Structures are given as C-alpha cells and as structure tokens.
Amino acid sequence: MNLSDEVEFGHAWDRDGPRVAAYVRRHVPADDVQDVVAETFLHAWRRWDAVPRPPIAWLIGTARKVIGNSRRARRRRLALHDRLALLGSAARSGEDAGIVATERMAALQALAALPDRQREALLLLAWDGLTPDEAATALGIKPGTFRVRAHRARAALDLPHPPHRIAAVATRPLTEGGTP
C-alpha cells in the first residue's frame, strides 16, 4: 500500500467508520461494536486495492459478513459450553462409575438377548438416529411392520429377564452383523 492509499484509507476510516459502526450497532451488543468495525476495516486494509470507491457499500457488506461469522462463532462456543456442562454432569465419582458400568453391561446383555430383528429395530432408532419410516425403508419393510417390531423390542426390554437367559448371552458379542 502506497502513501496515497494510506491517506485514502485514513479518510475512509474517518468518514465511513461512524456509518459502519451505526450499522453494526443495530445488529450486535454494544460491547462488540468496536471489534466488528475494527475487523471490517482490517479486511478493507488487506484488500484496499480491490475495495470499490466509494467504499461504504463494500464496508457495510463486509461488516454484515463479520457479524455473521461472529454469531456463528458465538453459537459454536455456546454449544461447546453446553456439551462440556453435560459431560461434567454425566461424569461421576469412582463409586458411581462401577454402578454405571454394571447398569451399562446389564443393558447391553438385555439388548443382546433380543431376537436379531428386534435388536436391529432398536439400534436403527437409538444408535443410528433414524425415524421409524427411515428405518423401515432401510430394512425394506413396511413402516407399520417396523413399528410393531420396535414396540415388541421395547416391551421385551421392559420385562425382567430370567438370569439364565442373560447368562447364556453374556458371552455373545454385539457385532455389526448381529452375529457372534
């Protein structure tokens, strides 16, 4: 950037900076206005040769994009915060970890004890996140048939399992194909 460009940029800052700030002020909290304006002019500084004259429309457009990036970054930070909070609340002490492991093992044993078709129905819903209609399509069956299959699987999990039946499948691993 040569000296005349620097002078022109300075004039744009003095002339258009308040207008960009007024635009930004309508879209972000007051604490963020100066950061967004500064980032907008940083983009202009880096591309000053390509910025059209007069630059106000380009500056407002760039400020709009900076605001969008700022909002997305904020949403990502909040989502990360929520995930970390959830993880923190899910983490348990050493004593509780044994209980969780025991409960998890019992749940996996009960799932393994289900007939293959019922187990697959539950896994498509719970682990793969499919809707009942999507799961039915994936299995090549009618949605009503799938719903009955999933209902029976849930009902079977609600029933207390005889200890001998669970013990018989405790060594049977859950694999992708549903076979040991």
- Domains in the chain and their CATH numbers? 3-89 (1.10.1740.10), 97-169 (1.10.10.10)
Q: What is the pLDDT of residue 95?
A: 60
Per the prediction, the chain carries an average pLDDT of 84
In tens, the pLDDT along 38-62 reads: 999 999 999 999 999 999 999 999 9
pTM for the structure as a whole: 0.49
Alpha helices in 26-93 (DSSP H): 33-46, 56-90
Query: How far is 137 from 85, CA to CA, in rounded Å?
Result: 36
What value, to the nearest 5°, has the Cα angle with vertex 108 and ends 128 and 123? Answer: 20
In tens, the pLDDT along 58-78 reads: 999 999 999 999 999 989 999
Query: How far is 14 from 26, CA to CA, in rounded Å?
Result: 20
Beta carbons within 8 Å of 12's beta carbon, 6+ residues apart: 44, 55, 59
Query: How far is 90 from 148, CA to CA, in rounded Å?
Result: 33
Mean pLDDT of 16-23: 96
